[in-house]
């Protein structure tokens, strides 16, 4: 309570006892800006000072209260207004509704407060920016969606049709994407049709243009099914044709199957990223196929014409005499058809010599004889 507090309110505001109402108002504005808690965060002294300034101004701005204060050295609500409240204001609550902030940007309060003024106007422009950001309720394009899809090895080569369950926004069937129904308007519930909302920041309260109705107090008759967004969220089965030759990482665009736009904006696209499954024999590397083929010791030594599997069926491969493990052969254009280049990749076949166990003495004798006839040391070069 300000009641018996014997503070010198003139001193608090830095004005003479003879100061005009206008001088008091100017002094208050200057000091309030300087000591405002939002300009001096965490500064308890500034906060106390600010409260004192507020109290002083509360009394001195009001001629009746000022007269009483001048006469008795204090002001008491009970004395001034027996039984009455203090103009609907709670103790300790600071009402800024009478405070004209427009002057803060004009620089009318003198150079010394330049810094604090900057802080203040920044503070306010921040709110107004925030206000504006919430304001636009116009058409907006929908977002693109991306789905990763695993497809079988053979489906990737031959192509397939997938039925995907895609969770996406789609145009609201009730308002056909517009967000409102009919041409009527309803009172804005945000501001009770007043066009203004009040906002509190610390101890300050001030009025802003209602962000929902932008100050008109009225809203278009908003569609109940989509709450005015013009789109609803639901699962949809989307049929996607995967063309032959899809690779791991292929990105397929399905136009218009992304999220619907807001309030009638265009829909985004759906992107399908494929991941090709593995196969026990064939390995996809882009458009090429890689595989290993086992050959026998005699085939490796003598050479042979063998059959190898390809994605089209069997193909013949000539193994030349003296083929070691790891030797790679290329079967041209036996890989996967690339739809973009209309060209097939290759198949690479790596031979792997399979050595049997030979428990019989005849085979062992034969190999010993083979070794005697072929004494070359394959490791000889390693020790030079």
Q: Pick the piece of the chain touching Zn ion (CB under 5 A) from 118-126, 190-198, 254-262, 284-292.
A: 190-198
Window 76-115: residues binding Zn ion (CB under 5 A): none
The tokens describing 163, both together, are 């039925």
Beta partners for residue 140, in sequence order: 262
CB nearer Zn ion, residue 188 or residue 317: 188
CA 333 to centroid of chain Cα atoms:
45
CA dihedral sign of residues 170, 174, 180, 186 = negative
Question: To the nearest whole angstrom, how small is the minimum distance from the Cβ of residue 273 to Zn ion?
Answer: 32
Nearer to Zn ion, 24 or 210 (CB): 210
Query: Is 226 a binder of Zn ion (CB under 5 A)?
Result: yes
Residue 65 Cβ vs Zn ion, minimum distance, rounded to whole Å: 36
Query: What is the Cα gyration radius of the chain?
Result: 43
Check residue 260 for interaction with Zn ion (CB under 5 A).
Answer: no
Phi and psi (nearest 5°) for 151? -125, 150
Question: Is residue 218 within 8 Å of 193, Cβ to Cβ?
Answer: yes
Shortest distance, CB of residue 258 to Zn ion, whole angstroms?
Answer: 19
- Which one, 182 or 298, has the nearer CB to Zn ion? 182
What are the phi and psi torsion angles at 210 (to 5°)? -60, 125
Interface with Zn ion, residue 288, by CB under 5 A: no
Single out the residue of 23, 190, 283, 288 in contact with Zn ion (rule: CB under 5 A): 190
Tell me how many residues contact Zn ion (CB under 5 A).
12
31 binds Zn ion (CB under 5 A): no
Contacts of 111 (CB under 8 A, 6+ apart): none
| Among 143-151, 163-171, 211-219, 252-260, the segment contacting Zn ion (CB under 5 A) | 211-219
Among 12, 210, 246, 317, binds Zn ion (CB under 5 A): 210
* Whether 155 contacts 274, CB under 8 Å: no
Q: Distances from the Cα of 89 to the Cαs of 37, 49, 199, in angstroms? A: 20, 20, 17
* Closest approach of Zn ion to the CB of residue 190, in Å: 4
CB of 193 to Zn ion, least distance (A): 7
- Among 76, 121, 140, 174, the residue binding Zn ion under the rule CB under 5 A is 174
Using CB under 5 A, pick the residue from 31, 175, 317, 319 that binds Zn ion.
Answer: 175
Name which of 131 and 190 has its Cβ closer to Zn ion. Answer: 190
Scan residues 154-173 and list those touching Zn ion (CB under 5 A).
Answer: 172
Binding window for Zn ion (CB under 5 A); candidates: 35-43, 92-100, 189-197, 261-269: 189-197
* Among the residue ranges 96-104, 138-146, 210-218, 268-276, the one whose residues contact Zn ion (CB under 5 A): 210-218
Contacts of residue 273, defined as CB under 8 A and 6 or more positions apart, other chains included, come to: 146, 147, 148, 149, 249, 250, 251, 252
Q: Which is nearer to Zn ion, 143 or 190 (CB)?
A: 190
Q: How far apart are CA 142 and CA 215, in angstroms?
A: 28
- 47 binds Zn ion per the rule CB under 5 A: no
Q: Using the rule CB under 5 A, is 225 a contact of Zn ion?
A: yes
> Contact region for Zn ion (CB under 5 A) — 30-38, 153-161, 191-199, 346-354?
191-199
Interface pick for Zn ion out of 213, 246, 300, 319 (rule CB under 5 A): 213
Q: Does 254 bind Zn ion (CB under 5 A)?
A: no
What minimum distance in Å lies between the beta carbon of 142 and Zn ion? Answer: 15
| CB nearer Zn ion, residue 225 or residue 296 | 225
Q: Note the residues at the interface with Zn ion (CB under 5 A).
A: 172, 174-175, 188, 190-191, 210, 212-213, 223, 225-226
């Amino acid at each position: 309570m300000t009641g018996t507090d014997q503070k010198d309110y003139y001193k608090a505001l830095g004005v003479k006892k003879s100061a005009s109402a206008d001088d008091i108002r100017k002094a208050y504005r200057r000091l309030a800006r300087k000591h405002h808690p939002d300009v001096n965060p965490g500064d308890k002294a500034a906060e106390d000072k600010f409260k004192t300034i507020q109290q002083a101004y509360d009394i001195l701005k009001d001629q009746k209260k000022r007269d009483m204060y001048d006469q008795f050295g204090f002001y008491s609500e009970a004395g001034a207004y027996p039984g009455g409240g203090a103009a609907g204001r709670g103790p300790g609550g600071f009402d800024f509704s009478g405070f004209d902030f427009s002057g803060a940007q004009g620089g009318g309060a003198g150079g010394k407060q330049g810094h604090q003024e900057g802080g203040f106007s920044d503070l306010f422009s921040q709110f107004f920016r925030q206000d504006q950001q919430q304001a636009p309720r116009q058409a907006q394009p929908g977002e693109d969606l991306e789905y990763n899809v695993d497809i079988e090895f053979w489906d990737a080569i031959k192509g397939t049709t997938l039925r995907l369950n895609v969770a996406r926004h789609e145009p609201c069937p009730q308002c056909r994407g517009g967000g409102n129904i009919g041409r009527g308007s309803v009172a804005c519930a945000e501001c009770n049709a007043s066009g203004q909302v009040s906002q509190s920041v610390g101890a300050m309260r001030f009025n802003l243009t209602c962000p929902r109705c932008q100050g008109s107090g009225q809203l278009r008759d908003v569609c109940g099914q989509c709450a005015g967004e013009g789109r609803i969220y639901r699962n949809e089965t989307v049929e996607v044709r995967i063309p032959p030759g899809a690779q791991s990482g292929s990105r397929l665009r399905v136009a218009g199957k992304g999220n619907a736009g807001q309030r009638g904006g265009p829909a985004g696209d759906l992107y399908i990223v494929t991941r090709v499954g593995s196969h026990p024999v064939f390995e996809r590397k882009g458009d090429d196929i890689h595989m290993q083929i086992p050959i026998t010791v005699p085939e490796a030594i003598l050479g042979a014409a063998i059959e190898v599997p390809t994605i089209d069926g069997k193909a013949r491969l000539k193994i030349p005499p003296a083929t070691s493990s790891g030797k790679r052969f290329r079967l041209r254009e036996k890989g996967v058809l690339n739809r973009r280049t209309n060209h097939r990749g290759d198949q690479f076949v790596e031979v792997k010599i399979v050595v049997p166990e030979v428990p019989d003495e005849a085979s062992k004798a034969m190999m010993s004889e083979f070794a005697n006839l072929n004494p070359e040391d394959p490791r000889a070069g390693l020790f030079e």
